[in-house]
Chains A and B, each alone.
Chain A
Amino acid sequence: MKREKIISVVLAMVAMSGIAGLALITAYIFKEGLPIIVRVGLKDFLLSGDWHPLEGKFGIFSWIVGSLAVTLGAMIIGGLLGLSCAVVLTQFCPRRLVVVLKPAIELLAGIPSVVYGFMGVMILVPWIRQHLGGPGLSVLAAAVVLGIMVLPTVTSISMDALRAVPRSYRDGSIALGATGWQTTHMVILKAAKSGIMASLILGMGRAIGETMAVIMVAGNTLDLPHGILDPVRTLTSNIALEMSYASGDHRKALFATGVVLFVIIMILNSIALAVSSKRARKAGVR
């Protein structure tokens, strides 16, 4: 009995320390980052493109635009591919093939991001430079690399959502003379809508937070991009690139960039949680 007690206390402490770590990190980022945002002014910090740390000018607008552009591109590529994969694997693929393909797609999630970045630099960037113009290191390159990186997230969560659609919907629709594709897009995709949304949002969170692969292929210029072939710098790459030599206010401004990222990702995750719990509630009523 006493041993039970000790074990449960130890386990509770281990669990709490994990959460405490998270809380500490959060508190520290905000403590370091918030004062400079207040000093510069939230509006200037977010909406000014003037980033000259030595002159005390901290505007991260270009990085925000960069992050959004790259993420949007990644979601168009990865979302489309990932959702298509999920539809094919759950609706049209013989079971024997799914057993091989699903783990293969999930394996993509296990490849280190530096490898994706390396592939991007060696193959994709020269290809873009040669065939589409520009320096190659660009929004497009980052979007393609990130699109492939979010594919496993989108695919596997969408697959769960599609599989959760009651079998009776499919049977009922097929028996009324619907083809497989009609059933899929008129019945199954509609019924799995909220789960698919959640998968896209979680994929978006992953894309916006990715750093290494983006630094390698995005070009990291200080300028605001004007097209998808222009180089670009994102919020995450800005932190990673400048942290080694930043000090004083500059260093605090990087923490502030982290605060902005943190808030964006919190918002995305909350939306994902809200849509998927709406789905759970609906399922409960049925």
Chain B
Amino acid sequence: MNVATSQSEVTGPATPVGSGSHQAKIVVEDFIAFFGAQAVLRNIHLSIYPRQRLAIIGPAGSGKTTLLRSLNRLNDLDDDFRHTGRILLDGGDIYDSSTDVAALRRRVGTVYAVPTPLPWAIYDNIAYGPRLAGVRDRRRLDELVESGLRSAFLWDEVKDRLGEAATNLSGGQQQRLCLARVLALEPEVLLLDEPCSGLDPISTAKIEDALAELKSRYCVVLVTNNTKQAARASDRTAFFLMGELVEVGLTTQVFTNPADGRTGDYITGHFG
């Protein structure tokens, strides 16, 4: 797998940082995605490492979200979606016909751009995933709910009203609830699709703080339209443009000394 990553990744000086992270968690190999006849991602090669936050930036329509949704096969829900190439999670192709898609989505969790609370109590929202996974023990569920909420920095705000409807929470709280809900599944990879796009700065800061803490345990992929957020809240950054991966590298490097002129133009706001 290392062979694949070293030769195929679009090179900037993209050596992974951190100890023990040479083994990639996710490897995207020559991935092409279509909606209908239109190719929205072209020949993507990308490695994502454990215990790192990868930010994916790029203008609207660049394929960021499509890539993210491909990583746990959420695109399968769209009748028009087709793909070629492979995506390996710990070496196994997730598009293999033998993959248990529900189990895959528990290992690779998603937080959407818009909060998606279910119309139930806060507790039931968070316990839903573990219950589906077969956790029946009430005490274990309580633990998962609490630890999820704590990791999402929401516990203190809701601990006394876990029985209240999740839909009554504010937008920022709902988004952290969705984060807590994913964390209660104890996933291996966390996918965030512009998780702060509709949030005020304080809620945004809380989510970024949560991500910084989560980094020690998870592999995080963050799609964002906000380049400042990418600079603040990621270790590596990938820049997408019109379905192509233009460059990927250490965030500091991409932001201070991008290898490709288009990256620099985007970051400094010349287009997009």
Contacts and interface: CB of A to CB of B under 8 A. Distances in A.
Contacts of A96: 79
Interface in A117-171: 168-169, 171
Nearest to B181: A176
Contacts of A173: 118, 128
B105 A172 contact: no
A187 B103 CA distance: 19
A176 B128 contact: yes
Contact of A177 (B77, B112, B114, B132): B132
Contact of B77 (A174, A182, A186, A187): A174
B2 interface: no
Nearest to B126: A176
Interface string B91-116: 00000000001110110011010111
B107 to A, nearest CB: 9
A95 interface: yes
Interface string B118-140: 11000000001100110000000
A178 interface: yes
A178 B74 contact: no
B106 A177 contact: yes
Given A177-B102, A177-B103, A172 B132 contact: no
Contacts of A95: 79
B185 to A, nearest CB: 7
A173 B110 CA distance: 11
A14 B167 CA distance: 46
A174 B105 contact: yes
Given A177-B105, A177-B106, A177-B185, A172 B77 contact: no
Most buried by B among A172, A173, A186, A187: A172
A177 B184 CA distance: 12
A191 interface: yes
Contact of A175 (B103, B112, B114, B119): B112
A94 interface: yes
A172 B112 contact: yes
Contacts of B77: 171, 174
A2 interface: no
Interface string A76-110: 00000000000000000011100000000000000
A94 B102 CA distance: 20
A244 interface: no
Contact of A176 (B79, B114, B167, B182): B182
A177 B187 CA distance: 11
Given A94-B79, A171-B112, A178 B102 contact: yes
Given A94-B79, A286-B167, A175 B109 contact: yes
A284 to B, nearest CB: 13
A174 B74 CA distance: 8
B172 interface: no
A286 B106 CA distance: 28
A172 B117 contact: yes
A168 B112 contact: yes
B249 to A, nearest CB: 29
B178 interface: yes
B124 to A, nearest CB: 10
A16 B207 CA distance: 60
Contacts of A176: 105-106, 109, 128-129, 132, 181-182, 185
A2 to B, nearest CB: 53
Interface of A: 94-96, 168-169, 171-179, 182, 186-187, 191, 286
Interface of B: 72, 74, 77, 79, 101-103, 105-106, 109-110, 112, 114-119, 128-129, 132-133, 167, 178, 181-182, 185
7 shortest interchain CB distances as A-B pairs: A172-B116, A177-B106, A176-B129, A168-B116, A175-B110, A177-B105, A177-B102
19 contacts: A169-B116, A169-B118, A172-B116, A172-B181, A174-B105, A175-B72, A175-B105, A175-B109, A175-B116, A176-B128, A176-B132, A177-B103, A177-B105, A177-B132, A177-B133, A178-B128, A179-B102, A186-B128, A286-B167
Given A175-B182, A177-B133, 4 more contacts: A172-B117, A174-B77, A175-B110, A182-B132
